[in-house]
Structure 1
């Protein structure tokens, strides 16, 4: 899922990346809504709240929402900067580092939420900010990897793009190409797995509370392992192949 650049990716790789990251986004968003009464996988609603607080002149809330927006931007910036900096040496390393950072942040949320969280307003704002930063990392990463095809953390743009793709597919003057069909498959996959992740996330939160954030890094680790295991197997094969030949 992470080993190939945007120009060499197969439909299977894009579908797997879309499904796994959309599932994570759905779980995180519903967990954020239940635990903190705030959207945590996207910032569309935060922009509206920022505008409302500007009108009401709630200066503290203005600062909080502005920081959240900047954190999403910072996560997206960092992810893209890392990919551009490391892609000349290894696409896997370039794509894996933002995922590792996301895992660390979500594990921090899990540990802090389970052991130290006292439900104060400041704590809530800090934890939400950390999750939003991690979603900026993820959304930028999958968009960069897929050449803008996959955006897993919000659905507004997804429905817009899906509507355009379906219109192109059904229009009598347009040719029904594999590229259009594949885009529709990917966008429907994102939608389905985001919803599945949200439903499962809701059930798990009711059972485990903030410990749900231990489950989410596990899913991200499977993304890393999917590409890492063939590389490790290949290195082991090369390591022992001379011994086999000599025997």
Structure 2
């Protein structure tokens, strides 16, 4: 899922990345709404909220929402900066670092939420900011490595893309190419798994509260593990082949 660059990606790699990251986004967003009454995977609602707070001249809330927007921006910035910094060294490492950072942040959210969170406003605002940062990391990464094809939580843009691609597919003047078909597969996969994640997130949060957040790093860990198996296997195979050649 992570070892291929945007120009080398297969349909299978895109579908696996789309399904896993959309599942995470769905769980996180619904769990965030239930726990904090705030969207935690996108910023469209926060921009509208910021405008309302500016109109009301609520300085404290303006600062809070502004920081949330900045945290999402910083997540996207850090993710892309890491990818660009390590891409020449190792594609897998460049793509894995944002996922690993996201995993650590959400694990800390799970630990803090389960053992220390008492519901006060400051804690709530900090946790929302941390989750938005992690979602900025994820969104930027999947968009970058898929060439903009995968949007794991930006559903407004995703519905726009699906509408355009469906029109392209059914239009009588359009050739039914594999490229358009594959784009539809990926985008419907994102929609489907986001919905599954949202339903699961709501259902299990009601049962287990913040313990739901322990499940999210496990999903992210499977993304890291899927490719590292191949990386380790190839290194061992090359090492074994080199040892055999010297005999």
Q: What is the rounded CA distance, in whole Å, between the counterparts of 2:178 and 2:207 in structure 1? A: 43
How far off its partner does 1:195 sit? Answer: 0.2
Does residue 141 in structure 1 map to residue 141 in structure 2? yes
- Which deviations, in whole Å up to 9, do the C-alpha atoms of 1:106-160 show, x marking residues without a partner? 0110111011111000000000000000000000000000001111012111000
Q: What is the rounded CA distance, in whole Å, between the counterparts of 1:29 and 1:120 in structure 2? A: 20
Partner of 1:164: 164
Partner of 1:197: 197
The alignment's TM-score, normalised by the length of structure 1, stands at: 0.97
Q: What is the rounded CA distance, in whole Å, between the counterparts of 1:108 and 1:213 in structure 2? A: 9
Q: What is the rounded CA distance, in whole Å, between the counterparts of 1:53 and 1:215 in structure 2? A: 34
- Which deviations, in whole Å up to 9, do the C-alpha atoms of 1:33-83 show, x marking residues without a partner? 010110001111000000000001111000000000011000001101110
Unmatched 5+ stretches in structure 2: none
Q: What is the rounded CA distance, in whole Å, between the counterparts of 2:101 and 2:35 in structure 1? A: 22
Unmatched 5+ stretches in structure 1: none
Partner of 2:182: 182
Q: What is the rounded CA distance, in whole Å, between the counterparts of 1:189 and 1:205 in structure 2? A: 23
Q: What is the rounded CA distance, in whole Å, between the counterparts of 1:200 and 1:111 in structure 2? A: 20
Q: What is the rounded CA distance, in whole Å, between the counterparts of 2:238 and 2:11 in structure 1? A: 29
Q: What is the rounded CA distance, in whole Å, between the counterparts of 1:15 and 1:170 in structure 2? A: 22
The alignment's TM-score, normalised by the length of structure 2, stands at: 0.97
Partner of 1:31: 31
Partner of 2:51: 51
Partner of 1:4: 4
Partner-residue secondary structure (3-state), 2:107: helix
Q: What is the rounded CA distance, in whole Å, between the counterparts of 2:183 and 2:239 in structure 1? A: 41
Q: What is the rounded CA distance, in whole Å, between the counterparts of 1:141 and 1:4 in structure 2? A: 13
Partner of 2:70: 70
Residues 207 and 245 of structure 1: is their aligned pair in 2 closer, same or farther, counting only changes over 3 Å?
farther
Partner of 1:231: 231
What do you get for the CA RMSD once the two structures are aligned? 1.4
Partner-residue secondary structure (3-state), 2:89: coil
How far off its partner does 1:233 sit? Answer: 1.8
How far off its partner does 1:243 sit? Answer: 6.6
How far off its partner does 1:202 sit? Answer: 1.3
Partner of 2:124: 124
How far off its partner does 1:245 sit? Answer: 8.0
- Which deviations, in whole Å up to 9, do the C-alpha atoms of 1:165-185 show, x marking residues without a partner? 000111111111111111111
Q: What is the rounded CA distance, in whole Å, between the counterparts of 1:246 and 1:83 in structure 2? A: 37
Partner of 2:216: 216
Q: What is the rounded CA distance, in whole Å, between the counterparts of 2:240 and 2:84 in structure 1? A: 35
Alignment coverage as a number of residue pairs: 247
